[in-house]
Structures are given as C-alpha cells and as structure tokens.
C-alpha cells in the first residue's frame, strides 16, 4: 500500500463566517469524528445556552476555555484522508490576537480554505479594510501559500439562492484577485457548514451549482516538490543533554538532506562537528530529509555552541546570519502607527529575537507591489512596506526567494502580532 502524499491545510476566515462549523461537519461526514461526540457536544451546548448551532464547531474547538467563549483559539490539528491525499487540518483562529499562530501555522501550510458567508453584510465585514478575511488572504499570499479554495458558507441561511451565492462570490473574487491570486486557479464552492451541503456529499438543494464538492476540490491540490536538492537547513527547536549520549538537538529539516557521518556547522556560533546518529520517534534512521522532525546526536559540538533558534547546515553552504536585512512587511495590528526605531520581537523559524525596524524605504501597494511613497514617516494597519531590520544580535535568516521556509517572520509586541514579512535581501552579513 503506497503512502498517500501529505498536505497541511489551513482554514481561515472571519470569526463568525462559520469555519469551525464547516470543518467540524466535514470531519463528521467523513467519519473522522463520530456522532456520539457530536451528540454529547449538542447536549452541553444546550446547557451553555449556545443552543444547537455550535455543536459541529465543537469538533474543532475542543479546548474548554474556547467552549465558553465559543471561539477558536489554539490551532486544532485534525487528520483526515481523501482518495488522493492525507491531510492535517489546521483551523486557523479568526481572532485578531491569534495571528501569530496563523503565521507559524500558515508557514507550515501547503494549501488553504477561505470561508466567507453568503449572508448579506457578513462577507462585507470580513473583506473590508481591517476585516479578518482580507487580512488572512494577504497573509496567506505573503507567506507563500499558493493554493486556495473559497467556500461560500451559510447557503442554508439564504435559502440556497444562486443570487446570494453570486453576490458573495463576486466580493470574494475581488478579494483574492486584489491579494494576487489568479482567479482561474481558485475554485469557489457554495456550502452549508450547518446542514452539510457540498462538503462531502453533493447538495440536492442547489441544482444550479454543477461544480465540485469541498472534498473533491481538495484532491485537485498539488504537492510541492520537497526541497531536498537545496543546502541543508535545520532550525534548532530544543537541545537536550542525555546521559551517556551527549548533546541531542531536536528540529525539523526545512531543506536538504542530513546523513549520519556528515560534517556540519552550527550558526551563528560557527561551531563545526559531525552527525553521529539521527532518530525520529525513537527510531534510528540513516538519513533525514526536508519535512522530517528529528533528534540527532552530534560529535564535536558542546552544549554552549548550540541553542534554540540556531540553524544547522553544511560547511560548504553554511546558513546565512544577518546583522541587517531588507524585508517586505505588512502591518496587521497596531493601535496607532509605527515609526523607524521601533523594536518589537521578531519570530522567524524557531528563533525569537528583539529587532529594530531601522528604516522605512518605501510604502507599497500590498497587492501589486507598486511604490506608493518613498521613505514614509510612519506605517499604520494595512500598510505594506519595504523596510530595513536590524536584530539586536546576529540571527540566522535567509532570503524568502532562496529559502521560503527560512525567510518569513512575524513582528510581535504587547502580546499581538504587529506585522508579517518576508526577507528580500541580507544587507549586512555576520561571519563568525
């Protein structure tokens, strides 16, 4: 039995457009979640006064605190299979303060569903400036998620009328086009997350719609080639010291191939060593490749030379370390505006470091990239810009063009994600 290719699928959309309900019902129709679980949720739903409507969403919102608030907080991981693929579903939270999850989530996503609503007014809020659907669509595009499906939800609430679908679809098309997706590659599907229309089974309530169901559309996604031909990059998540074994770092191979016996370098320290052994889930393996989560034992590297946020590579093509870099950012959330000199915390792969946005070079149109203003004095929510960033200490980072996995980042401050961005070029490199 050949193993099906795996895809990470992220679900996004404005908070009340019903994405958890849609995906919860989808998983139930697929038989991933049983009716008993749903029935228990429905009973509890009655008690909390939310009535019946939240019961499917509970499949995704299985965290207690979320139940009481009726919103999705954490990234709930669910697995399901289609005839062609094996999917991990990442339900991205729709609330403002959860965008960092979305960035760490989106950067791991191969494809996305954007859930909009067919109900009058609901999609308008979602796609307006500052609306979550607009923001998520921009982020997905900026962070390199190339494949997207738009589900127009709540068709049951508009009596399955084609006119309501068309009106919402037109708004959705405008949105995905403005962000830079090509419309011919973006399927639009009318669904009801509540009633189950067009999720797994073809709806009988919309004879006017002749397209695919959600599950059929999922099989039209394509799997990107694993970046195994690129130089090795392994951002370190944690480093353990195991008695009798030594230093054991843990991380995910983002690009390239790692082999036992290979000579390696750890940046930014520049320490040289050799891979003694590699294991995943307590099973030893001779090689690991892009996408594998592994632990490995190093020879010649001391614990002080390697820590979370460092990146392991090979001496012939070592990971880049930046003192300063040029980036394209989009401002997602800030109470007022940001000015040059602003120093939030930069989250990039496994590293977290304070970083100063030293210069605003250009404010650009987020969709087209056209320059709208040279050297702007400040940036506010919704603005996209080319800026220079200087981390407080040299940090491993790559250009997005060469290593998308290593070239995207979030800027966070006051518990919220202020901006998301990608690295355009390293303007000042650090050599150990």
Q: How far from chain centre, in Å, is Cα 261?
A: 34
Q: Closest Cα to residue 365, out of 173, 180, 107, 101? A: 180
Is 168 annotated in a binding site? The answer is no
Is 315 annotated in a binding site? The answer is no
The residues, any chain, with a CB within 8 Å of residue 409's CB and separated by 6 or more, are: 327, 346, 347, 348, 397, 420, 421, 422, 423
The residues, any chain, with a CB within 8 Å of residue 244's CB and separated by 6 or more, are: none
Is 156 annotated in a binding site? The answer is yes
Is 19 annotated in a binding site? The answer is yes
Q: How many CB atoms are closer than 10 A to CB 232?
A: 27
Sequence-ordered strand ranges (E) for 125-233: 147-153, 188-190
DSSP letter for each residue of 5-41: PEEEEEEEE-TTS-HHHHHHHHHHHHTSS-HHHHHHH
Q: Closest Cα to residue 221, out of 146, 115, 147? A: 147
Is 38 annotated in a binding site? The answer is no
Q: Which two tokens stand for residue 378?
A: 């400040």
The DSSP secondary-structure symbol of 350 reads: T
Is 16 annotated in a binding site? The answer is yes
Is 154 annotated in a binding site? The answer is yes
Is 14 annotated in a binding site? The answer is yes
Is 17 annotated in a binding site? The answer is yes
Is 18 annotated in a binding site? The answer is yes
Q: In Å, what is the CA distance from 307 to each residue of 39, 235, 269, 310?
A: 47, 10, 10, 6
- Sheet bearing 86-91, strands edge to edge: 76-81, 86-91, 6-13, 111-117, 147-153, 188-190
Is 92 annotated in a binding site? The answer is yes
Is 155 annotated in a binding site? The answer is yes
Is 267 annotated in a binding site? The answer is no
Q: Closest Cα to residue 105, out of 428, 426, 420? A: 420
Is 20 annotated in a binding site? The answer is yes
Is 15 annotated in a binding site? The answer is yes
Q: Are 183 and 208 in contact (CB under 8 A)?
A: no
CA separation for the pair 15, 189 (Å, rounded): 19
CA separation for the pair 261, 255 (Å, rounded): 18
Could you give phi then psi for residue 356, rounded to 5 degrees? -100, 130
The annotation places the binding site for GTP at 13-20, 91-95, 153-156
The annotation places the binding site for Mg(2+) at 20
The annotation places the binding site at 13-20, 91-95, 153-156
């Amino acid at each position: 039995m050949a193993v099906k290719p795996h895809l990470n699928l992220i679900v996004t959309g404005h908070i009340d457009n019903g994405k958890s309900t849609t995906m919860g019902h989808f998983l139930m129709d697929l038989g991933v979640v049983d009716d008993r679980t749903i029935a228990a949720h429905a009973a509890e739903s009655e008690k909390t006064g939310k009535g019946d409507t939240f019961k499917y969403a509970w499949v995704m919102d299985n965290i207690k605190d979320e139940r009481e608030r009726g919103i999705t907080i954490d990234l709930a991981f669910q697995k399901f299979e289609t005839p062609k693929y094996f999917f991990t579903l990442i339900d991205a939270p729709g609330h403002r303060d959860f965008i960092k999850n979305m960035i760490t989530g989106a950067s791991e996503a191969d494809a996305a569903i954007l859930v909009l609503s067919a109900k009058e007014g609901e999609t308008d809020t979602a796609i307006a400036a500052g609306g979550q659907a607009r923001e998520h669509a921009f982020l997905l595009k900026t962070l390199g998620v190339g494949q997207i499906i738009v589900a127009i939800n709540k068709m049951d609430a508009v009596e399955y009328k084609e006119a309501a679908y068309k009106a919402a679809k037109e708004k959705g098309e405008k949105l995905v086009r403005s962000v830079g997706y090509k419309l011919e590659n973006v399927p639009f599907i009318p669904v009801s997350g509540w009633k189950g229309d067009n999720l797994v089974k073809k709806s009988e309530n919309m004879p006017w719609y002749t397209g695919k169901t959600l599950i059929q559309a999922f099989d039209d996604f394509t799997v990107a080639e694993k970046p195994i031909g690129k130089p090795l990059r392994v951002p370190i998540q944690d480093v353990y010291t195991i008695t009798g074994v030594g230093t054991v770092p843990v991380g995910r191979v983002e690009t390239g191939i790692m082999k036992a016996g290979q000579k390696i370098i750890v940046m930014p320290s520049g320490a040289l060593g050799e891979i003694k052994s590699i294991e995943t889930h307590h099973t030893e393996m001779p090689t690991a490749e892009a996408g594998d989560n592994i632990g490995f034992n190093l020879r010649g590297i001391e614990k002080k030379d390697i820590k979370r946020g460092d990146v392991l590579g090979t001496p012939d093509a070592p990971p880049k370390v930046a003192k300063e870099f040029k980036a394209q950012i989009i401002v997602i959330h800030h109470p007022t505006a940001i000015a040059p000199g602003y120093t939030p915390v930069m989250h990039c792969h496994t590293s977290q470091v304070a970083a100063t946005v030293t210069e605003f070079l250009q404010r650009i149109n987020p969709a087209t990239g056209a320059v709208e203003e040279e050297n702007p004095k400040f940036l506010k929510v919704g603005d996209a810009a080319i800026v220079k960033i200087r981390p407080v200490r040299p940090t491993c980072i790559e250009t997005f063009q060469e290593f998308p996995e290593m070239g995207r980042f979030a800027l966070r401050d006051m518990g919220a994600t202020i901006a998301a961005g990608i690295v355009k070029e390293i303007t000042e490199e650090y050599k150990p």
